[in-house]
Structure 1
Amino acid sequence: MSARVAAEGRPSPAFARVAAEGRQGPASVSVIVPVFNEASTIDALQDQFDRIDFAGSRCEVIFVDGGSTDGTRDRVRAPYRLIDQEGRGRGGALNTGARAAEGEVLFFLHCDSVLPEGAFREIGEVLSRVRVGTFGIRFSELTPVLMLCQVMSNLRVRFRHISYGDQGLFVERDLFFKAGMFPDVPLMEDFQFALNLKRLGEPIGMTRDRIRTSARRFPNGEINRLRTWVSMARLRSRYVKGASPEELALVYGNVR
């Protein structure tokens, strides 16, 4: 049984139950996807969930819309949920989804992400050891700068326990709220949440397989991509030294 079967009219509970062989995933998972003008990506993500192996977990998918004007809202199909964002920025969208979620595990995912096979089994494996985890990342394009960026991102998780939003963070529900949720700021919400987890002494585990994400936040051209990567690193450094998210957002530009 898949979520597509549920969408075609068969009765379904609050979570779509899916049978799986081998190691099971977590008992129940809420996948939370913030969207803003994602008409070009949302169908592909829903297609993934139509055919994905949920590894025995009960799963719901929640799209949190931040005011799309390109038809994104009309493309969300049953059994997936669409709710309106409260608060500002990506952090506000993620928190809105978390408050509405029913799952024991909250899985925050970008709309342009492609999950590996066995993603939910891997989530279960990581959460059998720690209370929060993330996927290793790889970009849909493989250029020297992007390859370096993904290597450094994966090393950062392994050795510093810092994960960013495009890596697919998953966390036990009670720990998420204990850590204070994502701060309602225009930038650095994922970075600050990771810092909050570190202060609580919660290490971030990482899956064996990688999530694939687009390089759309990077401009074309290797020199431009390198400049963007360096600029992001400088923004994080300034944030750690006390710069406000509002100030940094003005430098970063379009943070959606």
Structure 2
Amino acid sequence: MGFRDRGLEIKSREQIDLMRVAGRLVGETLELLRAAVTPGATTGDLDRLAEANIRDHGGVPSFLGYGVPPFPATICSSVNDEVVHGIPGDRVLVEGDVVSIDCGAIVDGWHGDAAITVPVGDVGPEVLELMRVTEESLWRGMAAARLGGRVTDISHAVEQYVRSQGRYGILEDYTGHGIGTEMHMSPNVPNYGRAGRGPSLVEGLALAVEPMVTLGSKHTTLLDDEWTVATVDGSLSAHFEHTFTLTSDGPWVLTAVDGGASRLADMGVPFGGR
């Protein structure tokens, strides 16, 4: 493993392959959770399902015990106006809610990190559109990445797509990040800004890209649990995330179950995985 470009962790292809194992486990866990999101389920139910699946497949939850105060769960479950870092527990999901689920796993010392936002039963069309825009901006960001480009090429693509779709709030105080032997590493990956800035995109750099978008203000507040981030105006939010890397062939989405092959093909973007 080499280190260059202001302390970035640059992985070998063999190490990226190990990250793919962790990433696939995260992706498969999130698909289990997506199917489990129904009216009457609790966020604690989702957390227990996630922890069991990760451990049953040789992984360790990344989030459990992370940070100060130590995060007390395997997933972040953020409901409605909660954008990120919600703590699962006894909250019962009801028809019309929307829940963001962020999940991380470690396998053999390597991290994967991804998030989805899921409607609970039927939700309004404006909420479905918010989710669509947020997820599409994630893919637009990854598709904009090229070897030799810069980190903010991703940021610019995310912002430009969201802005083109309507009046949404894009969180600025929370960003994507580098990932590898630790969950959060340099560089930060903002969801807004000019292209052509930041560290170079090189083979072996792995990034977690995670747009967080609201139906109202971009401003947030930290709740009393010292983890949950909520919108100040009570507006609903969406959050999608993938861990990805670049190869000489194109992007490889390490936390997508199929590596991102089908979605990238739909966008006309070469697939860089195997």
Larger proportion of helix: 1
TM-score class, shorter-chain normalisation, is 0.3 to 0.5
TM-score, normalized by length of structure 1? Answer: 0.32
* Larger strand fraction of residues: 2
- Taking structure 2 as the reference length, the TM-score comes to 0.30
